[in-house]
Amino acid sequence: PSELWRQKARAHLDTLTKPLGSLGRLEDLAAQIVAIREEKFSEPISKGVYVFAADHGITAEGVSAYPREVTHQMVLNFLAQGAAVNVLARLHHAELRVVDVGVDTDFNDIPGLLHRKVARGSRNMLHETAMTGEQLAQALAVGAEIAANAVAAGQTMIAIGEMGIGNTTSASAITCALTGSAASEATGRGTGLNPEAHARKVSVVQAVVAKHFGGSAANASPLEVLRCVGGLEIAAMAGMVLAAAQHKLVIVIDGFISTAAAAIAVALSPNTQGYLIAGHQSEEPGHRLLLQYLNLVPVLSLHMRLGEGTGAVLAMPILESAVALYTQMATFTSAGVSGAA
């Protein structure tokens, strides 16, 4: 993002009819969006939300409260407009696209779905790398292609979400690898594990990290982390984040898994960080570690832990508010209001 535009934005904010700084985070968000969009900051905001779906080989280890087929079932629910993210996208006028990068089913040519299947799920990362190098490259390219399509469709702000039973286990392993956190700190209850199943998940994450990175995760490259312990939808999200930043889109990330993908993107290309807005703070403990790693402060904190992009879409009206205040408020001079003593 442009520091010059951010400074211009700060100066303009101080002329508006409000006590200095009194819009708090909305001022930071407006300045960030102006810095991202530069001369296009005043164009209408056009919003997209992208839900990337894939299955995970690690589900064989009993890491999720829900059975693997729920990934497939929830994709059908998205297409039928019945899921939480459908409701929020409709209410807040964001165009929703669902991308199959790796669901373990044959969707045939079902309409309404972006068919970009790389494989029928990732492999069991407890025993081998989650993806081959070729699968990783394909999944990254899916995200880049979809970012280009978003730009071509005139979108200026995108939310990045996902669906994939087992993918908090991948996000936890990525968190350990990138931040050096212990598995016990980075591993949460996912969709609702009981304490015993949670303990098992922690030991799976620990074993996965030990297998691929031994005692020295710090030496693993971000792409290697993604290949070994990521997932097809996480790789596609990382690809979309990288490309969207190059296209100067405002990128709203969602919860733990979406943020894990963004963390990989930032590890690969640090400048990407400035294009990211953290939509919310999820209940997953690893999410907090990743947000710290990324130096991002979430817009909302509503104890959500659903994924699908829901927390990102929910933050969009706040971001639109910040931009509208920036572009539409009167100045002290134009309104004839006296300044502070």
What residue ranges bind a second copy (CB under 8 A)? 16-26, 65-67, 69-70, 73-74, 76-77, 80, 82-84, 86-88, 90-92, 191-192, 283, 299-306, 310, 314, 317-318, 320-321, 324-325, 328-330, 334-341
How far, in Å, CA of 158 to CA of 306, rounded? 18
Smaller CB separation from a second copy, 95 or 128: 95
Place of tokens 């990330």: 253
Q: What is the DSSP letter of 45?
A: P
Asked whether the beta carbons of 136 and 235 are under 8 A apart, the reply is yes
DSSP string, 171-232: HHHHHHHHH---HHHH---TTT--HHHHHHHHHHHHHHHHHHHTT-GGGS-HHHHHHHH--H
User: Which of the residues 61, 233, 308, 320 is marked catalytic?
Assistant: 308
Task: Round to whole Å and give the CA distance between 328 and 42.
Answer: 10
Q: How far is the CB of 329 from a second copy (least distance, A)?
A: 6
Q: What's the token pair of residue 288?
A: 């907090």
Give, in order, the Cα–Cα distances in Å from 3 to each of 38, 158, 325: 10, 22, 20
* Comparison of 233 and 320: residue with beta carbon closer to a second copy: 320
Return the structure tokens found at 238: 């990382």
Query: Least distance from C-beta 302 to a second copy, angstroms?
Result: 4
Q: How far apart are CA 81 and CA 266, in angstroms?
A: 32
**Residue 136 C-beta: closest distance to a second copy, Å:** 29
Q: Which is nearer to a second copy, 165 or 243 (CB)?
A: 165
To a second copy, the closest distance from the beta carbon of 240 in angstroms equals: 24
Q: What Rg do the C-alpha atoms of the chain give, in angstroms?
A: 20
Q: Which is nearer to a second copy, 61 or 224 (CB)?
A: 61
**Shortest distance in whole angstroms from residue 317 CB to a second copy:** 4
Nearer to a second copy, 224 or 284 (CB): 284
103 phi, psi to nearest 5 deg: -80, 140
Cβ-based nearer residue to a second copy, 84 or 207: 84
- Least Å distance between CB 176 and a second copy? 23
Nearest 10 degrees: Cα torsion 186, 189, 194, 197:
-50
The pair of three-digit structure tokens given for residue 10, joined into one six-digit string? 């700060």
38 in catalytic set: no
Distances (CA, A) of 289 to 16, 64, 121, 146, 277: 36, 21, 27, 28, 16
Cβ within 8 Å of residue 6, ≥6 positions away: 31, 32, 34, 35
d(CA 282, CA 293): 15
What is the distance between the alpha carbons of residues 49 and 95, in angstroms, rounded to a whole number? 6
Q: Closest CB to a second copy among 206 and 310? A: 310
Cα 186 from chain centre: 17
- Closest CB 328 distance from a second copy, rounded Å: 5
Catalytic positions are 308
